[in-house]
Structure 1
């Protein structure tokens, strides 16, 4: 089974200026879970002064924990955020570790060496609380500030993070620089050093290669794909990077290929109405919601 992890309530909403009402966020999370989505990143534990869009994350964790079978995860930027996440009751948390030091200093104000120390401290908090801890290797495929990011640097920093206590890794195409051949090379190189702890791709569709990159990852054994409903999101600290992989398009591709996701595509598409009502005028992306599934979609799923 392929795990489609919905990151819109965090990565999507942090990238727009408006704040979605708490009731609408809860409706969104509940509706996606009802459609069969098994993991949702409900928000991030950052200071509300920096991202007021995330100020209600603790309340969302409390709500999402009441939904049977839903894995409730959140992003944390540092030790303080990790402590807040644990107190709120998350099942899992992840920390972004930028492979571009320039981006790291801009995003979390820490050098690579400082981030390794922070990862070790967060890992200790997670172990003590019995919370799953993942590290997102962001800007792994390139950076709008530095350009190309050397593959050996990504591998070296992944190993250092593993030694510091990371239980799981994702490779993040923060800036939409990845291509399918690069995805294959980098997944192989990182997995050769950290093994099955590399499970996830976090892809952006900035240049239209999101689904192609997802397929390349699947062919290399990736089992989890992050996506955002309506393609909301990007990175506020990576100029020109906008648009996550569209959950609806990803689920259509996976289901029609006969890969099991457990997600009802028609119910998933209906969730868009919650976003459209709560964020009027906000662009929502995706081909599948407009075109609809193929006439033989359900037959394809059965094969």
Structure 2
């Protein structure tokens, strides 16, 4: 079966936010700034810089304002800086820094929504509606990410109709792009394609991005499955930063290096310098005193040493 793959893919590196938020070791603002600048130097054109959530819930993101202030002098107009915003208070704190995009997040699982943000799916959408409206009024892009699109730690498999429903609701309140996230990394290619096809009932393929965790080693397969449908934007995390809180010791986000290596091997352009990306991942991994989660990095470094 012949597939028509996109010529170019936009990689969204989420390591500064999603990758670091669950780290128990406090990461100083200067280290986060260095990570973001390393990613930009490697050619990353879109990244999740931070989130404006209560520091009581996510202490690691408590320096959101300081980080964005520190980034101001080197801020690049060619780079899209995204921030996660859960409510109007978060939006009011974020808007001072003029992010290029705000990210709101729903869930395709009712139980996950209740456990994660203490409200139902419908209540979460109502909470995000004024945030999306305020962002659009200021000319800021709105991206809606749907978690647990193929599986949930509480409900098990998720029916694609749930993905269609949440997509429709997010588009209604003004989301211009929809992220299909396999939050716990249980997805396999056909399941991921079904989730994307469900979202396509309410949004064009050009407005869909993929966010795949590698808990069961399926993230690259799922990325390929999404590419086959025409998805051209993917969330990844340098060095595979960001563990999966529901599977002890399991990896979380797919490593940016691994996705870039695969795409370049397929002749798909990303605009990213893999060597510089590897250096960025090595630098933050050294600070965190943890092994680099990228298979490609480990292979390249072993090759250099031999």
TM-based fold match above 0.5: yes
Q: Which runs of 5+ in 1 are unaligned?
A: 296-303
Residues 23 and 117 of structure 1, relative CA distance in 2, 3 Å threshold: same
The answer to whether 1:224 aligns with 2:233 is: yes
* Partner residue of 1:252 out of 252, 261, 264: 261
Q: Which residue of 5, 15, 27 corresponds with 1:20?
A: 27
Matches within 5 A, 1:40-189: 40-65=47-72, 66-68=74-76, 69-189=78-198
Q: How far off is 1:148 after superposition?
A: 1.2
1:206, 1:213 → 2: CA distance? 12
Q: Report if aligned partners of 1:171, 1:202 keep a CA contact under 8 Å in 2.
A: yes
Q: Per-residue CA shift, 1:87-145, capped at 9, x if unaligned?
A: 22211011110111111112111211211212211111111211111110111111011
TM-score by length of 1: 0.91
Give the Cα–Cα distance (whole angstroms) in 2 for the partners of residues 73 and 103 of structure 1. Answer: 24
1:93/1:132 contact within 8 Å kept: yes
Q: 2:263, 2:206 → 1: CA distance?
A: 22
Deviation at 1:197, TM superposition (A): 6.0
In structure 2, how many angstroms separate the alpha carbons of the residues matched to 1:201 and 1:5?
Answer: 10
**Which whole-Å CA distance do the structure 2 matches of 1:115 and 1:197 have between them?**
25
Aligned-partner Cα distance in 2 for 1:201–1:10? 17
- Over 3 Å counting, the alpha-carbon distance change for 1:107 and 1:197 in structure 2 is farther
Post-superposition offset of 1:2: 0.4
Aligned 8 A contact 2:192 2:222 in 1: yes
Task: Output the CA distance in 2 between the equivalents of 1:84 and 1:147.
Answer: 36
For each residue in 1:162-188, what CA deviation from the matched residue of structure 2 results, as whole angstroms up to 9, or x when unmatched? 112111100000011111111112212
Query: What is the aligned partner in structure 1 of residue 220 from structure 2?
Result: 211
Q: Within the alignment, does 1:291 sit opposite 2:299 as a pair?
A: yes
Match for residue 298 of structure 1?
A: none
Q: 1:235/1:289 Cα in 2 relative to 1: closer, same or farther (>3 Å)?
A: closer
In 2, the alpha carbon distance for the partners of 1:283 and 1:224 equals: 27
Task: Pick closer, same or farther for the CA change 1:183–1:198 going to 2, 3 Å.
Answer: farther
Matched, 1:243 2:274: no
Unaligned segments of structure 2, at least 5 residues: 1-7
Of the structure 1 ranges 209-218 and 88-97, higher mean CA displacement relative to structure 2 is found in: 88-97
* Paired residues of 1:13 and 1:19 also in contact (CA < 8 A): no
How far off its partner does 1:271 sit? Answer: 1.0
Do the aligned partners of 1:136 and 1:171 also contact (CA within 8 Å) in 2?
yes
Cα shift at 1:23: 1.0
**Is residue 2:272 matched to residue 1:263?**
yes
Match of 2:283 in 1: 274
C-alpha separation in 2, matches of 1:158 and 1:76: 18
Distance 1:122 1:234, change over 3 A: farther
Could you say what secondary structure the match of 1:15 adopts? coil
1:242 deviates by 4.2
| Cα offsets for 1:203-229 (capped at 9, x unmatched) | 100000000100110111111110111
